[in-house]
């Protein structure tokens, strides 16, 4: 019998739990799930003796330790900053561990001991990071093994609303932690490498440096750069590449309108606004505009950001009732980012029948026999419903598959890993296909730059 | 005999030292000056037995302690972060102390003990902070004492080049630490109160929210808000005021052109640029622009920031040779701010015969007998030459005058102070007049807002 411990049973674990349920008999699993809120897990598992659901405070270190003692492998779906104490317990007790989060320096420091004990600590094995690593490395290894030289790598991921549920002008709904969406891109300059040149974009220009991307059958999207584009150059073995770019995807027009919030200062999470609890949306907008005894908030905003009266982005702002002077937003001691989040949550929450959609787009440029070539790889995954969302599937399934493969010794190299070796990505990508995670790969003409880049 | 210890003899201490030299006999002074570089002090003092110049590392705590032991009052002209250890020594040894820097929380925490020992620790008594506090409080107290109610306070200060030495399109030269000029406005949102409304301006919009100010005989200037406008509302006793605004003055057009640097990301001091030592100015500009296999840096910049080809601000950029692709800037592991500083220092350094100029502008709005009234107060001080600059005079003279008044017991209220009480500002402002620090005060029609504000 394989004993699995799942710490945390939030929204993104539905497909993960469902996978274990379907594999429980054939793989002889016993799954313990701990969390304060077990509603979702109970709904999925139903009456099943192979599952044990324990109402435990997952931030209680002693209770957590006791739970880890009785398992063979720990899956931590805690917020990233709580992984380290779990990892230390798992190491002390000699258990494998899996997370969908980025590898921290502190975790990497434990690697010698983890290796010594023959344990596998697999991380970054959700969607992004996760499926992006695996699908990219499969192609990169293929290109390199064919004797070619990688010269360009670009990768974009987006969590969006499916076209059939897309009913707002932003073509966006929250399928992920709204706070992360509001503060996305903050905390440092965006750096990347383009045709051998290092490029730097400050936060306030991020949403004006988009480029267009076409996904077959889904039309046009836009991408803006992440902060960490250079980090994976050495991890992916792309030291020779002269273009390295990782970005986030949105529907066309989102970034240009989002830039209004950035320019006003509404995404700032570092200070609180005076008397925020009394503010209407109109007051909130006005706090970022010059005082005038006569001019309207609307006119001041148009003039300040040079928005034409018939600009389509104005309709996006109106759709959010941004100039409503009646209703209070109603949060005390709020930062601008918290106020904005509340405004957006009222409009961008998925309805019961809405479906979400994940899109991913990789570009691989390489040189073979003196010729420049390019492969584009595209993925679209749609959610089934509000429980089995595309986000839950793409985050949870790789974690679930990896769990079984580690338990069965099919993934066995000890250490602190992310899924970039064939031992890991080949079997997992193969099985993911059964769940509709299928990349569409095509040879296209090489482009050392994107002619559809939109600047300014 | 009064024993004065001056720690630090940099550029801004010339008028301070000169004042003591002129008062040495009549006030019976003995002045010890310590610093590693005593060239300036020696040049001013000459052969004078009332002065002792000691070549001491002013960051050596033991040597500093020994020096403090032998004086009656310490003047610390160290960088602000070094005041606290000096203050602790002065307190332990029972000496008065003076700085031209903002009062830190840590210094304020020492106040009970400082009061107990009957010591005066006077701070913020240079130009800004300093002369601004004194000149503002004199008028505020006058207005309040006449039974009126203060409703508006705005205050602007600028360190600029005098018109007769103004020979560049930016109408600006460095008269102050260049680094502080490059990073000015960073580190937090600018907050102020305008006609009862709290207003917030993010850094990337700061230089587009200027307003015009006319100074009699000197034409038009522009002002942009400081970060700390609200801080002095309680200190000045202006709780009832509905407008509180403190800002920085430049010549018209400076901010609009400076905004190009801000928008590009050139003022960022938080990360270093790859291979910065090899970069020309042109490379530096290009690092913030999209890659193109064909378009020029000039065209990309114009398109990115929407600058017309005949826009006068383009000439300002050209004047800095910003598109020079030949000469390397030549700094290793440099932040963008360090690169920009080097570019500007090559162009904006005062020439031997250049004169600098300080401008200050206060607006006081008040209500008397149901009527709205306003007093505007303006100051212009020009430097004599490169040694007795306007900056050195306005920073050093208030410090020097306060030193003598504390030694003579004319300023005697113990505690950690800034110069906001009549005991301090009345005698000091009176004496400053002899040195040309004269405010021009006029009643003007009341304006609850500035019709010359320029937004967007």
CB B95 within 8 Å of CB B74: yes
The residues of A whose Cβ lies within 8 A of any Cβ of B are 188-189, 191, 194-195, 197-202, 204-205, 209, 263-265, 268, 270-271, 273-275, 286-293, 300, 303-306, 336, 448-449, 453, 455-456
**Cβ <8 Å between A305 and B456:** yes
CA distance A394 to A176: 12
In chain A, what residues touch B293 (CB-CB under 8 Å)? 195, 448-449
> What pLDDT does residue A220 have?
97
The pLDDT of residue B454 is above 60: no
Residues of B in contact with A204 (CB under 8 A): 202, 204, 263
DSSP label at residue B228: B
Q: What does the block give as tokens for B71?
A: 């004086």
Concatenated DSSP letters of B68-119: HHT-SEEEE-S-GGGHHHHHHHHHHHT-EEEESSPPPHHHHHTHHHHHHTT-
The pLDDT tens digits for B204-232 are 999 999 999 999 999 999 999 999 899 99
Residues in chain B closer than 8 A to A194 (CB atoms): 290-291
Q: Which pair of tokens denotes residue A265?
A: 């200062």
pLDDT in tens, B47-77: 999 999 999 998 888 998 999 999 999 999 9
Record: contact B265-A188, CB cut-off 8 A: no
pLDDT digits (tens, 9 = 90+) for A8-23: 999 889 999 999 999 9
**Chain B residues near residue A195 by CB distance under 8 angstroms:** 291, 293
> Between chains, do B303 and A456 touch, taking CB under 8 Å as contact?
yes
User: Which residues from chain B sit within 8 angstroms of residue A209, using beta carbons?
Assistant: 290
Task: Give the pLDDT confidence of B330-341 residue by residue, as tens digits.
Answer: 999 999 999 999
How far, CA to CA in Å, does A212 sit from each of A156, A198, B303? 11, 21, 18
Query: How does the average pLDDT of chain A come out, rounded?
Result: 95
Handedness of CA B318, B323, B325, B331 (dihedral sign): positive
Mutate to test the interface with B, among A154, A198, A244 (most CBs of B within 10 A): A198
B131 membership: H or E segment, kind and range: helix B131-145
For the record, the structure tokens of A368 come out as 């073979």
Query: Which pairs count as long-range contacts for A294-302, CB under 8 Å and 24+ apart, including other chains?
Result: A297/A323, A298/A323, A300/B455, A301/A260, A301/A264
Place of tokens 């009176």: B430
**β-strand pairing of A197-201 with A440-444:** unpaired
Q: What is the pLDDT of residues A36-55, one digit of tens each?
A: 999 999 999 999 999 999 99
Q: Choose the closest CB to A286 out of B197, B273, B304.
A: B197
A456 → chain B, closest CA residue: B304
- What's phi and psi for B430, nearest 5 deg? -60, -50
- A449 vs B197, B199, B291: nearest CB: B291
Q: What is the dihedral of CA B404, B410, B415, B417, to 10 degrees?
A: -70
Question: Could you give the ipTM of this predicted complex?
Answer: 0.89
Reduced to 3 DSSP states, what percent helix, strand and coil does chain A have, rounded to the nearest 5? 35, 25, 40
Q: What is the pLDDT of residues A316-373, one digit of tens each?
A: 999 999 999 999 999 999 999 999 999 999 999 999 999 999 999 999 999 999 999 9
**What pLDDT is recorded for position B456?**
44
Specify whether the CB–CB gap between B424 and A269 falls below 8 A: no
Residues in chain A within 8 Å Cβ distance of B263: 202, 204-205
* Chain pair A-B, CB pairs under 8 angstroms: 115
Q: How close does chain A come to B240, measured CA to CA in Å?
A: 16
Name chain A contacts of B448, Cβ cutoff 8 Å: 293
Contact B202/A268, CB-based, under 8 Å? yes
Rg (C-alpha) for chain A, rounded Å, is: 23
Beta strands in A162-303 (DSSP E): 190-194, 197-201, 211-215, 219-225, 243-251
Instruction: Give the model confidence (pLDDT) of A142-164 as tens digits.
Output: 999 999 999 999 999 999 999 99
Contact A245, A153 (CB under 8 A): yes
Distance from CA of B417 to the nearest CA of A (A): 28
CB nearest A293 (choices: B188, B199, B448): B448
User: Distance from A263 to chain B by nearest Cα, in Å?
Assistant: 7
Q: Do the chains contact at B449 and A292, CB–CB below 8 Å?
A: yes
Q: State the pLDDT at residue A153.
A: 97
Mean pLDDT of A275-299: 96
Six-digit token string for B300: 């990309």
A456 CB neighbours in chain B (<8 A) are 303-306
The pLDDT value recorded for residue A228 is 84
Encoding tokens for residue A245?
């770019």
Angstroms from A237 CA to nearest CA on chain B: 19
What pLDDT does residue A450 have? 64
Is the Cβ pair B195, A293 closer than 8 Å?
yes
Question: How many other C-beta atoms lie within 10 A of the C-beta of residue A336?
Answer: 26
Is A454's pLDDT higher than 80?
no
More confident call, A202 vs A228: A202
Is-contact B67 B46, C-beta < 8 A? no
pLDDT value, residue B61? 87
* Contacts within 8 Å (CB) and 24+ apart, A403-407: A403/A4, A403/A20, A403/A73, A403/A75, A403/A98, A404/A2, A404/A23, A404/A27, A404/A29, A406/A73, A406/A96, A406/A98, A406/A120, A406/A122, A407/A2, A407/A4, A407/A27, A407/A72, A407/A73, A407/A96
Mean pLDDT throughout B18-33? 97
Q: Closest Cα of chain B to A221: distance in Å?
A: 19
The verdict on whether omega for the bond into residue B159 sits within 30 degrees of 0, i.e. cis, is no
Write down the pLDDT at residue A451.
Answer: 62
Which residue among A265, A291, A449 sits closest to B194, beta carbon to beta carbon? Answer: A291
Ramachandran quadrant class, A240 (left: phi over 0; alpha: psi -120 to 50; beta: rest): alpha
pLDDT at B451: 62
Query: Looking at the partner chain, which of B288, B291, B304 has a beta carbon nearest the beta carbon of A195?
Result: B291
């Amino acid at each position: 019998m394989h004993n699995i411990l799942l710490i945390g049973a939030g929204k993104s674990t539905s497909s993960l739990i469902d996978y274990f349920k379907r594999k429980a008999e054939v793989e002889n699993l016993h799954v313990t799930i701990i969390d304060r809120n077990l509603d979702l897990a109970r709904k999925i598992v139903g009456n099943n003796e192979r599952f044990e659901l324990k109402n435990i405070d997952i931030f209680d270190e002693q209770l957590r330790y006791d739970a880890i003692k009785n398992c063979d492998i720990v899956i931590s779906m805690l917020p990233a900053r709580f992984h380290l104490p779990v990892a230390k317990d798992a190491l002390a007790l000699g258990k494998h561990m899996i997370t969908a989060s980025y590898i921290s320096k502190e975790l990497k420091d434990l690697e010698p001991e983890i290796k010594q004990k023959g344990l596998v600590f697999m991380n970054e094995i959700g969607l992004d990071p996760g499926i992006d690593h695996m699908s990219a490395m499969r192609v990169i290894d293929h290109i390199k093994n064919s004797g070619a030289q990688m010269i360009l790598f670009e990768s974009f991921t987006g969590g969006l609303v499916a076209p059939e549920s897309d009913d707002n002008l932003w073509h966006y709904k929250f399928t992920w932690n709204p706070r992360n969406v509001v503060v996305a891109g903050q905390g440092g300059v965006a750096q990347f490498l383009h045709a051998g040149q290092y490029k730097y974009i400050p936060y306030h220009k991020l949403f004006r440096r988009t480029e267009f991307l076409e996904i077959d059958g889904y039309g046009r999207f836009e991408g803006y750069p992440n902060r960490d584009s250079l980090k994976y150059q050495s991890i992916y073995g792309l030291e020779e590449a002269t273009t390295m770019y990782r970005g986030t995807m949105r529907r066309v027009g989102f970034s240009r309108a989002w830039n209004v919030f950035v320019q006003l200062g509404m995404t700032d999470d570092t200070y609180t606004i005076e008397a925020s609890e009394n503010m209407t949306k109109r007051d909130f907008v006005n706090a970022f505009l010059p005082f005038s005894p006569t001019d309207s908030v609307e006119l001041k905003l148009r003039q300040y950001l040079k928005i034409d009266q018939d600009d389509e982005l104005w309709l996006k702002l109106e759709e959010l009732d941004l100039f409503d002077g009646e209703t209070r937003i109603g949060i005390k001691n709020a930062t601008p980012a918290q106020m904005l989040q509340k405004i957006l949550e009222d409009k961008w929450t998925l309805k019961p029948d809405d479906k979400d959609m994940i899109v991913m787009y990789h570009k691989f440029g390489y040189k073979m026999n003196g010729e420049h070539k390019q492969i584009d790889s595209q993925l679209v995954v749609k959610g089934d419903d509000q429980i089995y969302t595309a986000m839950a599937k793409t985050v949870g399934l790789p974690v679930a598959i990896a769990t079984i493969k580690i338990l069965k010794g099919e993934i066995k190299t000890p250490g602190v890993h992310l899924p970039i070796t064939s031992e890991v990505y080949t079997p997992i990508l193969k099985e993911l296909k059964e769940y509709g995670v299928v990349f569409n790969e095509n040879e296209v003409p090489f482009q050392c730059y994107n002619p559809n880049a939109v600047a300014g």
